[in-house]
Amino acid sequence: MVDGIDWLTVPDVAERLGVPVTKVHQLLRDGALAGLREGGVLRVPAGFVRGDAVVKGLPGVLTLLRDGGYDDEAAIRWLHTSDESLPGTPVEALQADRSREVKRRAQALAF
Classify strands 36-38 and 41-45 as parallel, antiparallel or unpaired.
antiparallel
CB 61 within 8 A of CB 97: no
pLDDT for res 85: 86
Counting the structural domains of the chain, the total is 1
Beta bridge partners of 42: 37
CA separation for the pair 55, 45 (Å, rounded): 11
Residue 1 is assigned to a structural domain of this protein: no
Residue 26 within any structural domain of the chain: yes
Element (H, E) at 99: helix 99-109
pTM value is 0.93
Query: pLDDT tens for residues 30-53?
Result: 999 999 999 999 999 999 999 999
91: in domain: yes
Q: What is the mean pLDDT of residues 64-78?
A: 95
- Distance CA(27)–CA(33), nearest Å, equals 6
Domain hosting residue 88, numbered range: 7-109
